[in-house]
């Protein structure tokens, strides 16, 4: 089987769950992808039942084949993770993993419209979604475009680039977009990549989706549920870091309060990773995409039953 995606931080992720997770009950993989992490979970935890979620039908059908030998322990859901998680309330969930972002298959497959040379302007993870990169690039007004470039790509020349895009409309493909960026002075692929990534984040509403995943995991977590999140973008990592801090806080009174009035009993659990776990030099050498990966872990001590 030719597997189009190398799972990142695989050993570190399994190790996190091995150290902290009850090896029975359900494990939810919110971003099944090509099933690399899920396969290792099923291998390492023979009593775990796994629920694999992916909004991308292509990924899901690949993972189904890959995990065939575990079919009596696996269920698949083809939805956005934030939606699918709502259906899992009441299950005995021991672990949840989200390996946020796109897979190498999506990134490398020209037809999916993520590559610099794609003949479309697409970038949708879910092909049933109507809104695509075409809409962002051709129909966003100046302020909206500038906001995407500034916020997600942290691009200093966001005004100039938005201006060039608007002047060259309509754009019909990533190739044309790359040409326009080139004309705007963005000649280096290293600088072009965050701009493409920013448009992708906007198309798939990725930051909002991450917030929703965290909200819904909080709603379904039990006492003892372990959550692992892998992110690839500093804004995503910040969302996870802040949410874990908020969950770990005993007192939720406003900082300006003179004394605690909330009872000081609001802690939902403990942070398992003081600092994010990052890829080793060797992993980065073998899989350069792991360079920006950050894994954080949290253990709920107060959940549905807590
Ligand atoms: C980085 S890949 C996951 C790779 C996987 N861990 C593996 O080992 O093969 C991310 C996958 O999650 C899916 N995905 C990303 N965000 C999602 C979301 N919010 N809901 C459902 N699927 C999502 C993408 O379609 C993609 O297939």
pLDDT tens sequence across 224-262: 999 999 999 999 999 999 999 999 999 888 888 888 888
- What pLDDT was estimated at residue 105? 85
Residue whose CA lies nearest to ligand 1 atom number 7? 36
Nearest-atom index, ligand 1, CA of 232: 1
pLDDT at residue 129 is higher than 60:
yes
- What pLDDT was estimated at residue 125? 93
Nearest-atom index, ligand 1, CA of 81: 20
- What pLDDT was estimated at residue 187? 92
Q: Could you give the percent of the chain with pLDDT greater than 90?
A: 87
Nearest-atom index, ligand 1, CA of 39: 8
What kind of fold does domain 10-105+206-300 have according to CATH? Rossmann fold (3.40.50)
> Structure tokens of 303?
């959940």
- What pLDDT was estimated at residue 306? 53
pLDDT at residue 148 is higher than 70:
yes
Q: Which residue has the higher pLDDT, 257 or 96?
A: 96
Q: Could you give the percent of the chain with pLDDT greater than 70?
A: 99
- What pLDDT was estimated at residue 109? 87
> Structure tokens of 54?
């992916």
Distance 148 CA to ligand 1 centre (A): 22
Distance 100 CA to ligand 1 centre (A): 6
CATH 1.10.150.170 location in the chain: 130-203
- What pLDDT was estimated at residue 303? 63
pLDDT tens sequence across 75-92: 999 999 999 999 999 999
Mutational pocket test of ligand 1: of 33, 124, 213, the residue with most ligand atoms within 8 Å of the beta carbon: 33
Please provide the CATH number assigned to the domain covering 130-203: 1.10.150.170
Distances (CA, A) of 246 to 155, 156, 199, 218, 288: 30, 31, 29, 12, 32
> Is the backbone peptide bond immediately before 170 cis, with ω within 30 degrees of 0?
yes
* Pocket-forming residues, ligand 1, beta carbon under 6 Å: 5, 7, 31, 33-37, 53-56, 59, 80-81, 99-103, 125, 209
pTM over 0.85: yes
Nearest-atom index, ligand 1, CA of 230: 1
pLDDT at residue 304 is higher than 70:
no
Residue whose CA lies nearest to ligand 1 atom number 12? 31
Distance 103 CA to ligand 1 centre (A): 6
pLDDT at residue 135 is higher than 80:
yes
Residue whose CA lies nearest to ligand 1 atom number 4? 33
Distance 105 CA to ligand 1 centre (A): 11
Nearest-atom index, ligand 1, CA of 126: 25
CATH 3.40.50.150 location in the chain: 10-105+206-300
Please state, rounded to an integer, the average pLDDT across all residues of the chain.
95
Average pLDDT over residues 104-126: 91
> Structure tokens of 101?
């972002």
């Amino acid at each position: 089987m030719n597997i189009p995606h190398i799972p990142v931080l695989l050993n570190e992720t399994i190790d996190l769950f091995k150290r902290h997770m009850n090896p029975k009950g359900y494990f939810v993989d919110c971003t099944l992808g090509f099933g690399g992490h899920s396969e290792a979970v099923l291998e390492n935890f023979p009593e775990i039942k796994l629920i694999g979620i992916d909004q991308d039908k292509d990924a899901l059908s690949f993972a189904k084949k890959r995990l065939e030998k575990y079919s009596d322990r696996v269920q698949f859901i083809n939805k956005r993770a934030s939606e699918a998680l709502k259906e899992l309330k009441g299950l005995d969930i021991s672990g949840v993993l989200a390996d946020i972002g796109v897979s190498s298959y999506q990134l490398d497959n020209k037809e999916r419209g993520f590559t610099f040379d794609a003949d479309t302007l697409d970038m949708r993870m879910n092909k049933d979604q109507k809104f695509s990169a075409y809409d962002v690039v051709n129909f966003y007004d100046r302020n909206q475009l500038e906001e995407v470039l500034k916020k997600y790509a942290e691009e200093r020349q966001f005004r100039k680039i938005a201006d060039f895009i608007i002047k060259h409309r309509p754009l019909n493909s990533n190739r044309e977009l790359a040409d326009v960026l080139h004309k705007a002075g963005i000649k280096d692929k290293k600088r072009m990549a965050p701009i493409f990534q920013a448009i992708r984040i906007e198309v798939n509403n990725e930051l909002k989706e991450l917030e929703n995943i965290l909200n819904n995991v909080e709603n379904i977590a039990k006492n003892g549920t372990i959550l692992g999140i892998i992110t690839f973008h500093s804004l995503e990592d910040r969302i996870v870091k802040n949410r874990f801090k908020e969950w770990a806080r005993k007192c939720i009174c406003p900082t300006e309060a003179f004394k605690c009035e909330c009872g000081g009993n609001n802690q939902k659990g403990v942070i398992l990773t003081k600092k994010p776990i990052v890829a080793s030099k060797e992993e980065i050498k073998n899989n350069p995409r792991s360079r920006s990966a950050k894994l954080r872990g949290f253990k709920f001590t107060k959940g549905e039953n807590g």
